[in-house]
Amino acid sequence: MSTQPFRLPRGGRIDRARPHRFIFNGRAYSGYAGDTLAAALLANGIHLVGRSFKYHRPRGIVTAGVEEPNALVQLGVGARSEPNLRATQCELYDGLIATSQNCWPSLRFDLGAINDRLARFLPAGFYYKTFMWPPSAWMQYEHAIRRMAGLGTAPEERDSDRYDKRLVHCDVLVVGAGPAGLAAALAAGRTGARVILADEQVEFGGSLLSGSAEIDGRPALDWVARATAELDWMAEAKLLRRATVFGYYDHNYLAIVERVADHLANPGEREPRQRLWKVRARQVVLATGAIERPLIFRDNDRPGIMLAGAARAYAHRYAAVPGRRTVVFTNNDSAYAAALDLIEAGGPVTTLIDIRAEPQGELADAVRAHGVEVIGGSAIVATSGRHRVKGVEVMRLTPDGTGVAGPVKYRDCDVVCMSGGWTPAVHLFSQSRGTLAYDSTHGCFVPSRAAQATHVAGICNGAWTLAECLRQGFTAGTAAARAAGFVEVAAAAAPPAPEPTATPPRILWAVPSDRAGTTSKHFVDFQNDVTVADIQLAAREGYRSVEHVKRYTTSGMGTDQGKLGNIPALGVLSDVLAADLPSLGTTTFRPPYTPVSFGALTGRDIDALADPIRVTPMHDWHVANGAIFEDVGQWKRPHFYPRAGETMRAAVDREVTAARTAVGILDASTLGKIDIQGPDAVTLLNRIYTNGWTTLEAARCRYGLMLKDDGMVIDDGVTTRLAPDHFHMTTTTGNAARVLGWLEEWVQTEWPDLRVYMASVTEQWAVATLSGPRARDVLAAAGTDLDLAPTAFPSQSMRQGAVAGMPARVFRVSFTGELSYEVNVPARCGGALWEALIAAGAPFGITPYGTEAMHVLRAEKGFIIVGQETDGTVTPLDLGLDRLVSKTKDFIGKRALLRPDTQRSDRKQLVGLLTEDPNEVLPEGAQIVVERRPEPPMPMIGHVTSSYFSPTLGRSIALALIVGGRARHGETLCVPLLGKTVKVEVAESCFYDRDGARANG
Amino acid sequence: MKSYSIFSLLRNALSYHQNWQAAWRSPEPKPAYDVIIVGGGGHGLATAYYLAKEHGITNVAVLEKGWLGGGNTGRNTTIVRSNYLWDESARLYEHSLKLWEGLSQDLNFNVMFSQRGVLNLAHNLHDLRELQRRVSAIRLNGIDSEILNVEQVKEMVPILNCSPDSRYPVLGASLQRRGGVARHDAVAWGFARAADARGIDIIQNCEVTGIRRDGDRVLGVETTRGFMAAPKVACVTAGHSSVLAAMAGLRLPIESHPLQALVSEPIKPILHTVVMSAAVHVYVSQSDKGELVLGAGIDAYTSYAQRGSLSVIEEIMASTVTLFPIFSRLKMMRSWGGIVDVCPDASPIIGKTPIRGLYFNCGWGTGGFKATPGSGHVFAHTIARDEPHPLNAPYALDRFANGSLIDEHGAAAVAH
């Protein structure tokens, strides 16, 4: 095992008492608790960690945070394997296994690197210009392209982890726990406001963790510790670490993903892996910090070339120096501070190259005092080193910065620390629709006008000094709390934090090279290999909008979403177009800030919990008696009850025959049931249903059809008048919720004057339907106080009484065409009722039947099923249900029925079909033609909506919607199927007991 | 227009790509045109292209308020298919699919039309019945479509959870092998370049602020770059159709809703076909770059803001991970929203309006991308001849008055 040669002997926020072993690309290394994978790799002297997307160039660690474009690894194995993780954010744990991605056969020798050699032929958008000949070959080209693309690999197993969600409210949500965020949380928390402070890092402190700043004359981290301790004591403050606020939606609704267990070698059983927090905040303080920009110079992508701030973080926070000979290349002061920190930590800096002409001031003097060679007004024009940077070439910049001149200086190095200035992390602010303003001094966008209840503080708001960050933090926290209704007890003053006077940066988007116009690569987007030349090419070809440049070159479309490259890319574009940078605008900031696992977004709503499974009170009986179930919406319904050795057809035939000749029993509990009450209930029904309801007497039932406003049937069912202002409506199983919503929508939005109230009672009633000539006998045998005589309890009526000792509403309505009683009892009695009826029915041959037999029974009678005989394009007239359409009153859809198209006589109409061969059962959904043509296309005149074998008739039957169907009775038509044509005769849609004597007896 | 080919690529490589010409000009607007097309998305640009190519009408301007393809052309999930139930739809979308099949060559721009197949899953008996009906109708319309049983589905998409114990068991699927995906931006760019080459003026950053008319006749459009006269004005502004219509004093039977989509981080190929499930609301494919592309549902509220709610994303994630359990540890990289104009029957409006010389092509709802070439083709015909092409005649605005709706609510996976 390696000995961490680049680990400093002391310092850092790692726990040296807890060494961790880890495996990277098959080799074992060690690091410490508190390391990130990237820090541990650097401590072991490893810079080469990945390959780029397009050219497969060797790439190293560039950053120390979320903006990392290069150091992406596949982490873990098996069900816990995860692609595309940023090594800069993976906390080290014992036994961690990581592998480089997008390289084959190995990271050091990657055949894909041939693309780099061919780069000249693969400019931005090359694929739009070729791969078109021969036309049929694209799928082959694409196959090869797809294999080259992609980064990591998806796991091959089901995720073994669990994810949770929480929905919370707070007064002030503070995003980011750097100096500004901590100050804001303190100020808000002290007022007693409910504060949530969320930070993506392991510990609070933000940039202070990586530097040597002082606050109030003491190390800044002391202040962080005090602030954190104070917040910890606040009863109303919730502190979230490892928690990234990734989305800022409307109405101050923000989403946070908390990585609860990702850093654990052995996650516990009780804790979820990640938790999605959905926060509705009265006020939001964004203290999201800033991201350092790279400098865009030639071959700025070699391993060992990293951001100055990142090098500083590795040295300071993780006690790992990136190298032994460091060259710094900068356009601003922050890299000087980084250099000083590196030197202090023990990482020698040899040369500092500044784009600015004459580096002066405290910082420059301090750097020089350490013996560092400071070269002003110059730039790196080339770098060397394949798997690790070995040296740089430096030349003087021309005064306008567009070219270089003079002799070339060579400097050996093993690390280049670059700094192109800082970009405020305005992502969330922009997601919230806040507007941005351009800060030309610092070459970046800063928040301008908030669109929601948002406050911004710290460097993300253009506070370039620590003192200003603290001041803004306290101000924003106080303001946010006050806006949320909390007043500060004592004005919180920001502590002093002196810093050297700053010299403004010099913005130079593309650093010139002496080999311009050749194949030299100045990378703007590291991950997607987008160069300055690509952006220039895009502009040359007319792709000049920032969005076109992005989409044509793929700049900013990688997993880092352009956190490093977007502003430099804009800068380069503004140079090419000779346009003001702010006039170009930015690409849209979209959630998520950093990628979020599907698992976290899913939470527990998967598999059985994805959608509730609903079962009736009689379900256990069905299971015990061998029912085969069918999914109907969320419900499990018995499809049929096969006996041992019985086929589905045999079982269904038996069930149908029992209902026709003796008695069957159906679990009808799933039927939608809506209780409707109020003086205007009857008015509502009159408007909703096509038929009239005013004359319906109490305890009487009536079948009704509902139409959408376009005149098409959307539901049907039987509604019963329980009392003058009280109705019991039934709907189809699948539409129950929709119908209630439909009624509510009309009542709430269009007819608020109606005094009518609705409630779903679907699950309050269990329903057993007895159907068949012996139904009355069974009901009597079960014991009832109801008078079942046909005159006392006629068809289409309802009686309340006791059945088998249970309180019941019994509806005498029939969906089978047989004498039927729908016995409704309170849901808790459902099982008992069912068993009582089965027992009482045994002497009469009672047979439970499922939905399939129910379908056959109703089809024999020509009764429709909404969603089967109708599909949103069928009117009541098409169904031959003219008698149900009132001519005297108004109802929803009536006007639509008067439109010319709905009045056509050649609309598709419901008919019955009889096949020539009585044993031929047509497939449902089959299309119908007048005459089969040898080849399609052929004109279709309708389709089979329902089709069964009818044991009652001893032959197959079908229902169909056919153009002008009612006028075609007796006509022979064709149903073209695969390999054969079935001849059918158009018939009445009712095949059995046309006068309805059986149900009414 | 200099042709694109492997040879031009090699030739230009020699000069370090310094000599490529712009894909389209950026001309100054002229005071008058024969036809003004409002909206520089795929449908508008295709309309312009076919006006020039099929009808020889080249004195045409395409006005775009932002950047070409910046609306729904650049925001959709790029699925192309023609497996529609009703004859009118099947014919229109099949017309479009046939144009897709030669589009890269026709435009000399690789739109990466990839016929990797589109699967529509059935999870219960009702779904199966509907599938049967649909496939039967589609085949008799002469369009490829077949039904796969669960074993065949599993073979085609091994990562799909086909267990009978799944919350959403897969009972079968319909497959249109000729369906697939295309590179959406390239479609806008390819049409723009080809239209420009035929002399059409493409003017970006030019917003139409008014439609000038004289009684029932259109005179031209007011824009942020001044008035432009034209006897014919064609509006193709998905997501904003009602706004444009209001400028002409028209009211369209359209509701505008946000529709979201998202992509995962890029991963090596694992999904080789498009998988759609209308019942549980999943549609997913994998892009050539390696990202999983997922379509979300529409938000119930109406809006013109091109963003949607997190809850909609959470819902489709739940269904997606239930169907594809191995997706759980993949990560959403970017989500976005667009605005869809939805007609009451979920079918588009393509045709004339009560105002002479004013044409509308709108209301494509959640599924307009697949129709891009076909829509442009028939719309160009409608504008050139001042009468609809037989394929778009059923899509007239007056169908909402006479009731001859083409109800395709069942056609899209998106719940309306």
Distance CA A330, CA A328 (A): 6
Instruction: Write down the pLDDT at residue A492.
Output: 67
* pLDDT, tens digit (0-9, with 9 covering 90-100), for B191-201: 999 999 999 99
Residue numbers in B near A153 (CB within 8 A): 267-268, 270
Cα separation, A879 vs A877, in Å, equals 5
- Tell me whether B21 touches chain A (CB under 8 Å): yes
The residue in chain A having the minimum alpha-carbon distance to the alpha carbon of residue B170 is A631
Report the pLDDT averaged over residues B64-91. 97
pLDDT band, very low/low/confident/very high, at B411 (cuts 50, 70, 90):
low
Rounded Cα–Cα distance for residues A213 and A218 (Å):
9
Chain B: give the shortest CA distance to residue A518, in Å. 6
Q: With contacts defined as CB-CB under 8 Å, which chain A residues touch B107?
A: none
Q: With CB atoms and an 8 Å threshold, state whether B104 touches A138.
A: yes
Beta carbons of B5 and A133 less than 8 Å apart: yes
Average pLDDT in chain A: 96
> B279 touching A, CB under 8 A?
no
Contact between A958 and A922 (Cβ < 8 Å): yes
Q: Left (φ > 0), alpha (ψ -120 to 50) or beta: where does A493 sit?
A: beta
Which two three-digit tokens encode residue A339?
Answer: 């250099």
Interface contact B204, partner A, CB < 8 A: yes
Question: In this complex, do B5 and A561 lie within 8 Å of one another by their Cβ atoms?
Answer: no
- DSSP-assigned letters across all residues of A190-247: TTT--EEEE-SSSSTTGGGGGS--EETTEEHHHHHHHHHHHHHH-TTEEEESSEEEEE
Mean pLDDT in residue range B273-282: 92
The alpha-carbon gap from A663 to the nearest alpha carbon of chain B, in Å, equals 27
Determine what percent of chain A is predicted with pLDDT higher than 90.
94
Question: What spatial distance separates the first Cα and last Cα of chain B, rounded to whole Å?
Answer: 43
The rounded distance, in Å, linking the Cα atoms of B228 and B219 is 9
Sort out which chain B residues have CB atoms less than 8 A from A74's CB and list them.
none
- Longest C-alpha distance within chain B, in Å? 67
Contact A107, A134 (CB under 8 A): no
Terminal alpha carbon distance of chain A: 91
CB atoms within 10 A of CB A954: 9
- Look at residue A97 in the predicted model and tell me its pLDDT: 97
3-state secondary structure of B194: helix
- CB-side neighbour CA atoms (13 Å) of A394: 23
Residue B413 has pLDDT above 50, yes or no: no
Tell whether the model's pLDDT for residue A981 goes beyond 90.
Answer: yes
Confidence of residue A345 (pLDDT cuts 50, 70, 90): confident
Rounded-to-integer distance, Cα A275 and Cα A701, Å:
52
Please answer whether residues A20 and A31 qualify as being in contact, where contact means their C-beta atoms are separated by less than 8 angstroms: yes
Tell which of A132, A273, A513 to mutate to test the B interface (max B CBs under 10 Å). A132
Q: B10-21 burial string, b = 16+ CB within 10 Å, else e?
A: eebbeebbeebe
Q: At what angle do helices A736-745 and A681-688 cross, to 10 degrees?
A: 110
Measure the CA angle with vertex A549, ends A548 and A554; round to 5°. Answer: 105
CA angle, B321 then B76 then B118, to 5°:
60
Contacts of B234 (CB under 8 A, 6+ apart): B35, B36, B37, B38, B44, B47, B358, B359, B360, B361, B379, B383
Is the model's pLDDT at B416 over the cut of 60? no
Write down the pLDDT at residue B414. Answer: 39
Tokens of A594: 């950093």
Q: What is residue A309's predicted lDDT score, i.e. its pLDDT?
A: 97
Rg (CA), chain B: 21
User: How far is it, in rounded angstroms, from Cα B62 to Cα B40?
Assistant: 6
| B410 to A640, A789, A842: CA distances (angstroms) | 28, 47, 45
CB atoms B266 and A559 under 8 Å: yes
On chain B, the residues whose CB falls within 8 A of the CB of A135 are: 102, 104-105
Helix ranges (H only) for B198-300 are 241-247
The nearest CA of chain A is from the CA of B219 a distance in Å of 31
Q: Inter-chain contact A611–B124, Cβ cutoff 8 Å? A: no
Confidence of residue A500 (pLDDT cuts 50, 70, 90): confident
Mean pLDDT of A187-215: 96
CB B16 to CB A519 under 8 A? yes
pLDDT band at A494 (very low <50, low <70, confident <90, very high): confident
| A488 pLDDT tier (thresholds 50, 70, 90) | confident
Q: Pick from A542, A598, A632: which is nearest to B317 by CB?
A: A598
What's the confidence (pLDDT) of residue A498? 85
Cβ–Cβ of B410/A871 closer than 8 Å?
Answer: yes
Going along B251-319, which residue ranges are E strands? Answer: 255-264, 274-277, 282-286, 292-298
* Inter-chain touch A605–B314, beta carbons under 8 Å: yes
Give Dmax over CA atoms of chain A in angstroms. Answer: 116
One-letter amino acid identity for A345? A
The nearest alpha carbon in chain A to B268 belongs to A150
Q: What is the pLDDT of residue A512?
A: 94
| A131, A551, A605 member nearest B110 (Cβ) | A131
A422, two tokens: 């800082």
- Residue B155 burial (CB count, 10 A): 10
Q: pTM value?
A: 0.96
Nearest chain A residue to B86 by CA: give it. Answer: A940
Does B320 contact A at CB distance below 8 Å? yes
Alpha helices in A394-457 (DSSP H): 427-431
B26 touches chain A (CB under 8 A): yes
Is A798 in contact with A700 (CB distance < 8 Å)?
yes
The helix-helix angle for B87-101 and B372-385 (nearest 10°) equals: 110
Coil, strand or helix at A616: coil
Contacts of B317 in chain A (CB under 8 A): 598, 601-602
What letter does residue B108 receive in the DSSP assignment? T
Which site among B291, B321, B345 would you substitute to test the A interface, given the most A Cβ atoms closer than 10 Å to its Cβ?
B321
- Give the number of other CB atoms < 10 A from CB of residue A154: 24
Domains of chain A: 15-121 (3.10.20.440), 163-290+424-483 (3.50.50.60), 293-392+404-421+504-584 (3.50.50.60), 619-669+764-849 (3.30.1360.120), 672-760 (3.30.70.1400), 891-1000 (2.40.30.110)
Please tell me the distance from the alpha carbon of residue B238 to that of residue B235, in angstroms, as a whole number: 9
Give domain B115-179+256-342's CATH number out of 2.40.30.40, 3.30.9.10, 3.40.50.170, 3.90.1150.10.
3.30.9.10
Identity of the residue numbered A399: P
Closest CA to A854 of A887, A897, A820, A905: A820
A940 to B105: CB separation less than 8 angstroms, yes or no = no
Contact A249 B124 (CB under 8 A): no
Per CB-CB distance under 8 Å, the chain B contacts of A164 are none
Beta-carbon count within 10 A of A917 CB = 12
Q: SS3 of B1, please?
A: coil
The amino acid sitting at A907 is R
Q: What is the pLDDT of residue A517?
A: 60
Which of B20, B267, B407 has its CB closest to that of A152? Answer: B267
Q: Which of B110, B159, B336 sits opposite A129 (nearest CB)?
A: B110
Tokens coding A160: 């073994």
Q: Using one digit for the tens of pLDDT, what is the confidence trace for B163-205?
A: 999 999 999 999 999 999 999 999 999 999 999 999 999 999 9
* pLDDT cut 70: percent of chain A above it: 99
The alpha-carbon gap from A33 to the nearest alpha carbon of chain B, in Å, equals 24
Which of A561, A599, A923 lies closest to B321 in CB terms? A599
Mean of all residue pLDDT scores within chain B: 96
Q: For the residues A73-97, what does the mean pLDDT come to?
A: 96
> Looking at residue A518, what is its pLDDT?
66
pLDDT for position A658: 98
Q: Interior CA angle at A824 toward A818 and A830, to 5°?
A: 110
Comparing A62-76, A300-314, A503-517, A736-750, which segment has the lowest mean pLDDT?
A503-517
Suggest the residue from B26, B73, B108, B310 to mutate for an interface test with chain A (most A CBs closer than 10 A): B310
**B253 at A interface, C-beta within 8 A:** no
Contacts of A639 in chain B (CB under 8 A): 125
| Residue type (1 letter), A487 | V
Q: Nearest residue of B to residue A102 by CA position?
A: B268
Return left, alpha or beta for A764; rule: phi > 0 is left, psi -120 to 50 is alpha, else beta.
Answer: alpha
Element (H, E) at B37: strand B35-38
Q: Which amino acid is at B277?
A: S
CA distances for A671 relative to A131, A477, A764, A816, angstroms: 57, 55, 11, 15
How large is the angle between the packed helices A466-483 and A179-189, nearest 10 degrees? 30
**What is the structure's pLDDT at A368?**
96
Residues of A in contact with B141 (CB under 8 A): 936-937, 940
Residue A249 is predicted with a pLDDT of 98
Set of chain A residues whose Cβ sits within 8 Å of the Cβ of B268? 147, 150-154
Are B288 and A149 in contact (CB < 8 Å)? yes
Distance, in Å, from the CA atom of A441 to the CA atom of A443, rounded to the nearest integer, reads 6
Measure B314 CA to nearest chain A CA, in Å. 5
* pLDDT tens per residue across span B204-260: 999 999 999 999 999 999 999 999 999 999 999 999 999 999 999 999 999 999 999
Contacts of B26 in chain A (CB under 8 A): 542
- Which pLDDT band, with edges at 50, 70 and 90, does A74 fall under? very high
Q: Determine the topology of domain B28-79+184-253+345-412 in CATH.
A: FAD/NAD(P)-binding domain (3.50.50)
| CA-based torsion, A336, A341, A344, A345: positive or negative | negative
Which of A598, A870, A927, A981 is the best residue to mutate to test the B interface, defined by the most B CB atoms within 10 Å of its own CB? A598
Report angle CA A381, A383, A388 to the nearest 5 degrees: 160
Q: How confident is the model at residue B409 (pLDDT cuts 50, 70, 90)?
A: confident
Partner-chain residue, chosen from A81, A157, A542, that has the shortest CB–CB distance to B22: A542
The answer to whether B224 contacts chain A (CB < 8 Å) is no
What are the sequence ranges of the domains in chain B?
Answer: 28-79+184-253+345-412, 115-179+256-342
Look at B333 and A81 and tell me if their CB atoms are within 8 Å.
no
Name the token pair of B118: 């589109």
- Beta-carbon contacts of B19 under 8 Å, excluding residues fewer than 6 positions away, are B12
Q: What is the mean pLDDT of residues A334-352?
A: 93
Interatomic CA distance for residues B352 and A22, integer angstroms? 69
Per-residue pLDDT, B410: 66
